[in-house]
Amino acid sequence: MLVMAAGLLSLPALAFGADATPPAPVEYRDVPYVGSRNVIWVIAQLHLLLAGFVLGVPLFAWICEIVGWKGGEKRYDKLAKEFTKLLTSAYSTTALFGAILLFLLIGFYPKLMNYLSDIFFPSFIVYCILFLLETATLYLYWYGWDTMQEGGKKTFHIFLGFLLNFFAFFIMIIPNSWATFQSSPVVLAEGSDIARAWAATWNPTWWPVNIHRIIANVVLGGYICGAYAGIRYLSAKTPEERSHYDWMGYVGNFIGVFGLLSLPFAGYWLMREIYQYNQQMGITLMGGFLSWLFILQAMLIGVLFLGSNYYFWIGMTYRIPGSDIKYKKQMLAMLIALLVCLGIWMTPHSLVASMEEARKMGGSHHPLLGVFGVMSAKMTVANLMILVTFMSFIMYWRAGKVETAGWAKAAKIFMGLILAVSAIAVIVLGVWGYFVPAIIRINYFSTSQVLVVLGVLLTITPLTSILLKTAKTTSEMVWGVMPPRAGYSLVLNAIMIILLMTLMGYARSSSRVHWHVYGVLRDTSQYAYSPALGYASGIMALCTFLFCMIVAFIFWVATMGDKAKTPAVADKAGLPHGLPAMAGGSNALDEPKTSKF
């Protein structure tokens, strides 16, 4: 009876239960005190930097392996292997951060992830398959290094390196499609899953970001290699170690500069596409509240250019006896040119001024310097800085040699003329750009400036290479005698490129303002606002610090086994005349001499 009574009494509860509406789906979750957005920001940025490192290093290693294979220099092969060794641990760390990011995104932003999964599910499958292929190729590439050293096996190993980079490229561009979709979405209302995914993938900023990122990854890989070499150089105990790490630092800096020369072009293309896609987003980035980021960007890129050139110049004066006097004036002229260009690049359109100063200027635009604040001036000086840096490199390449070809004098005059005419052309186009409609400047003048500079690079590089094939070496290059500041400048360059990547990561994400998917899916969380630039700078610095610590840990773990072994003696194989610029233009490695700093 009692049970029946209890049952009857509980019947109304069933009615209440039937009336209760199901709980609304969770759209956001948060982390107390820290904030979910900050956690995602740091993890995503670290994952991106690690991914850049993991995608940049195989490219770097593969190029070095090919140079060693073609030129017969074992030290390049050794360098390539040394960096591939890092890949296995770096690869797993990157995947680990990717997994953490994925779990956190699902946890913190279920609504957004549900939406993205609905659109991109087919590409998730492709991504997983690519990961399996990449992992298998990496294992074969690394573990097969020693056994695939001769003949056809070496060719196959080089092919594996190609495959590694091939799969890596697609592993990069698929997530790029997810990220760029958020900024410039293309949404099909109808169609199959694959058609919708494909349309969303091929959005207006996908390829500009793909190209920009692959170049940036090469730059990151090169400068991190340089920083590693710099630190090892500073702590080297023996002349052989100093010699080896000095040379490695040179190669890292060279590859970093090689990528850096083309990076502004790719960045310009990306910004152009963003502007064309959506004027509002373009203005937010370049004229609105994010425009100050581009002054910071100018400073960071400027320091990279200065740091890279400084390393070239210091290398000339220390490694090539007699060059400090011979090239002093040229170095001074190039330094002044770089500083003037950087000064213009860093001059904002609206100046930071007190009320009194603004009153004297007649507003926040200076009547004279205001012209430096727009793209025509920025593009001009960026191109000139690329030209100067290229000249630095050519000077380094030719230092310590005398051209013996009969046509050498004519070639040198021709190259000088090309450089002078190109520099004048870049300046004329830049000034002219103020007097033509914006579309003419963007579509014709700016692209012509880029083509002029590329033309210089593509003309002078092979010409110098041919010229140096028959050149006589007058001063042998001496490795291992660089002063400590050379090592520090390599470390500075690496920090600059990492900071630069964190800065641009913030710019790209913030340009969406209060949208998860621009104009399609609104951010309705408590974090639907753009953080102040000072606050953002703090997070960028934190990401840079954490990434450096992670990379240092990876290097430490990967080289732990080496410490038990005898330090490797630098390979002293001779370098054929005129072999590539990467070689630094010396034909032989002398016995490391006593340091003179």
Angle at 244 between CA 588 and CA 147, to 5 degrees: 95
Which of 3-11, 429-437, 453-461, 583-591 is the region at the interface with another protein (rule: CB under 8 A)?
429-437
- Name the residue nearer to another protein (CB basis): 346 or 452: 346
- Name the residue nearer to another protein (CB basis): 150 or 356: 356
Residues 458-517 that bind another protein (CB under 8 A): 483, 485
For 160, counting Cβ atoms within 10 Å of its Cβ (0-12 exposed, 13-18 middle, 19+ buried), the class is buried
Smallest separation, CB 280 to another protein (Å)? 4
- Name the residue nearer to another protein (CB basis): 53 or 310: 310
Angle at 257 between CA 253 and CA 259, to 5 degrees: 120
DSSP letter string, 211-234: HHHHHHHHHHHHHHHHHHHHHHHH
Residue (of 194, 270, 266, 256) closest to 228 by Cα position: 256
Residues 305-324 that bind another protein (CB under 8 A): 306, 310, 313-314, 317-318, 324
Distance CA 505, CA 510 (A): 8
The binder of another protein chosen from 342, 415, 507, 582 (CB under 8 A): 342
- Pair 535, 527: CB distance under 8 Å: no
Number of residues in contact with another protein under rule CB under 8 A? 65
β-bridge pairing 515-517 and 472-473: unpaired
The residue with tokens 């052309």 is 425
Residue 346 contacts another protein per CB under 8 A: yes
- Name the residue nearer to another protein (CB basis): 360 or 409: 360
- Pair 345, 378: CB distance under 8 Å: yes
Residues in contact with 101: Cβ distance below 8 Å, sequence separation at least 6, in sequence order:
40, 43, 44, 47
For residue 277 the two structure tokens come to: 């896609």
Distance CA 596, CA 361 (A): 51
Residue 368 contacts another protein per CB under 8 A: yes
Smallest separation, CB 356 to another protein (Å)? 7
Residue 520 contacts another protein per CB under 8 A: no
Residue 369 contacts another protein per CB under 8 A: yes
β-bridge pairing 472-473 and 401-402: antiparallel
Site string for another protein, 238-277 (x = CB under 8 A): --------------------------------------x-
Smallest separation, CB 426 to another protein (Å)? 18
Q: What interhelical angle do 239-277 and 206-234 show, nearest 10?
A: 160
Smallest separation, CB 481 to another protein (Å)? 10
- Name the residue nearer to another protein (CB basis): 131 or 289: 289
The binder of another protein chosen from 22, 25, 367, 406 (CB under 8 A): 367
The binder of another protein chosen from 288, 321, 531, 580 (CB under 8 A): 288
The binder of another protein chosen from 3, 20, 189, 439 (CB under 8 A): 439
Smallest separation, CB 391 to another protein (Å)? 16
Residue 332 contacts another protein per CB under 8 A: yes
- Name the residue nearer to another protein (CB basis): 365 or 577: 365
Smallest separation, CB 247 to another protein (Å)? 20
Smallest separation, CB 522 to another protein (Å)? 12
Quote helix, strand, coil % in the chain, to nearest 5. Answer: 75, 0, 25
Residue 23 contacts another protein per CB under 8 A: no
Residue 352 contacts another protein per CB under 8 A: yes
User: How far are the Cα atoms of 211, 263, 493, 574, 583 from residue 218, in angstroms, in the given order?
Assistant: 11, 10, 14, 27, 18
Which of 64-72, 368-376, 558-566, 583-591 is the region at the interface with another protein (rule: CB under 8 A)?
368-376
Residue (of 247, 233, 240, 304) closest to 67 by Cα position: 247
Residue 351 contacts another protein per CB under 8 A: yes
- Name the residue nearer to another protein (CB basis): 439 or 564: 439
Q: What interhelical angle do 239-277 and 279-286 show, nearest 10?
A: 140
In this structure, what is the dihedral angle of CA atoms 304, 306, 312, 313, given to the nearest 10 degrees?
-170
Residue 366 contacts another protein per CB under 8 A: yes
Residue 596 contacts another protein per CB under 8 A: yes
How many alpha carbons fall within 13 Å on the CB side of residue 212? 21
Residue 1 contacts another protein per CB under 8 A: no
Q: Report how far apart the first and last C-alpha atoms of the chain are (Å, whole number).
A: 102
The binder of another protein chosen from 132, 143, 235, 287 (CB under 8 A): 287
For residue 102 the two structure tokens come to: 């994925």
Residues in contact with 118: Cβ distance below 8 Å, sequence separation at least 6, in sequence order:
none
User: How far are the Cα atoms of 118, 187, 415 from residue 197, in angstroms, in the given order?
Assistant: 9, 9, 50
What are the start-end ranges of the H helices in 29-149?
36-71, 74-108, 110-143
Residue 347 contacts another protein per CB under 8 A: yes
Residues 93-152 that bind another protein (CB under 8 A): none
Neighbours of 379 (CB within 10 A): 25
Rg of the Cα trace of the chain?
28
The binder of another protein chosen from 373, 430, 480, 578 (CB under 8 A): 373
Phi and psi torsions of 472, nearest 5°: -100, 130
- Name the residue nearer to another protein (CB basis): 228 or 313: 313
Which of 112-120, 350-358, 422-430, 570-578 is the region at the interface with another protein (rule: CB under 8 A)?
350-358
Residue 350 contacts another protein per CB under 8 A: yes
The binder of another protein chosen from 31, 353, 454, 573 (CB under 8 A): 353
Which of 50-58, 77-85, 347-355, 422-430 is the region at the interface with another protein (rule: CB under 8 A)?
347-355
Residue 563 contacts another protein per CB under 8 A: no
The residue ranges that bind another protein (CB under 8 A) are 276, 278-281, 283-284, 287-289, 291-292, 306, 310, 313-314, 317-318, 324, 328, 331-332, 335-336, 339, 342-343, 346-347, 349-371, 373-374, 434-439, 483, 485, 519, 596-597
